[in-house]
Structure formats: C-alpha cells, structure tokens
Amino acid sequence: MRVPFPIKVPCTSPCQARFEHMGRISGRTTVSGTATAQERGTWRVNGGLPLINQSISQNNAFDATALATTSSTTSSDNTVSTSGTVGVPSTSSFASAITTNGYAHALRGELSCPSIPPVGIGRVSDTGTPQDNAQRLSLRLSLLDFLYCHRVERVRARP
C-alpha cells in the first residue's frame, strides 16, 4: 500500500494522571573571621516558578518543604538547584567559611482512566546531602512519609 502523504497519529493518552510533588531543601553557612559564605536553593515543578526559593549568608541555615499537585496526559517533573559560595581574604590568617546543602524531592503519580483497570501508584524520589547524619536521616524520612504515608513533616529552619 502506498500513502502519498504523511499520516499523523496522536501520541498522548486521553487519560489524565494526577501527580503529587514534594520538595525539600536545606542549607547551612558557617563563617569565622572576615570570611563570607552564601547558600542558595530552589525547587520547581514542571519548569515553573520556584515553589521553594531560599538564600542565606554568613552564619545561617534554612530547611524548607513545599507540596504541589498537577494533572497531565503526558508527564510531570521536579527540579532542584542548589549552590554555595565562600570567600576568604588572602590577607586573613584566621578566617574560614563552609557551606552545605541537602535536598529531597519525590513524585507520586496515579492514572485515572475509566477504560483500563487501575495500575496503582507510581513513585520516584531522590535525595542527597553532605550534611550530618541527623539531617541525612531527616531528609530520607520525609521522602518515606510522603511516598508511603501520604504526609509530609512540616519542617522549620534549624538554628
């Protein structure tokens, strides 16, 4: 059979999926003497405006969590971005600066389609931090709570 023109077939599903998003970012800066330090962190859903947008400097810390819900016939995503900068003057012999950050983000998706049987909830997550073991455990537990218990611990900035 010969077709004289291209045939386009839509690749999107007529079914909606509900996506629940969780993002958490933490950061800490520590300085002594004449040093400087700055830490920044953002979390976005589907490339939109940041739902978490934190920036600190000098001796400070943050730990922020956000939730979002979206629907789509194709996909959904989260993005975490963190950065830290330090400065120690070359003329200072007793100055130091440290920045650390951590993140946890997760996505739960469930298809809502009357034409097919339920397929369950899809889950994906990621976490990472060079911060202490207590913070590492806290980030992981917030993921587990979100993914399997459908709740998120409301966190406050640590002193």
Q: Report pLDDT digits (tens) over 86-121.
A: 999 888 788 999 999 999 999 988 887 777 777 777
Give CA–CA dist 107/145, Å, rounded. Answer: 12
Q: Does residue 38 belong to any structural domain of this protein?
A: yes
Q: Which position has the token pair 């979206």?
A: 70
* Residues spanned by the domain of 88: 16-149
Environment class of residue 138 by beta-carbon count within 10 Å: exposed (0-12), middle (13-18) or buried (19+)? Answer: buried
What is the number of domains present in the chain?
A: 1
Q: Does residue 154 belong to any structural domain of this protein?
A: no
Q: Does residue 155 belong to any structural domain of this protein?
A: no
Q: How confident is the model at residue 3 (pLDDT cuts 50, 70, 90)?
A: very low
User: How far, in whole angstroms, is CA 45 from its chain's centroid?
Assistant: 9
Give CA–CA dist 128/83, Å, rounded. Answer: 13
Q: Does residue 6 belong to any structural domain of this protein?
A: no
In the chain, the percentage of residues whose pLDDT exceeds 90 is 44
Q: Does residue 2 belong to any structural domain of this protein?
A: no
Which pLDDT does position 90 carry in this prediction? Answer: 85
Q: Report pLDDT digits (tens) over 50-70.
A: 999 999 999 999 999 999 999
48 pLDDT above the threshold of 60 = yes
Q: Does residue 101 belong to any structural domain of this protein?
A: yes
Lowest mean pLDDT among 30-44, 97-111, 115-129: 115-129
Strand, coil or helix: 91:
coil
Environment class of residue 104 by beta-carbon count within 10 Å: exposed (0-12), middle (13-18) or buried (19+)? Answer: buried
Which pLDDT does position 13 carry in this prediction? Answer: 55
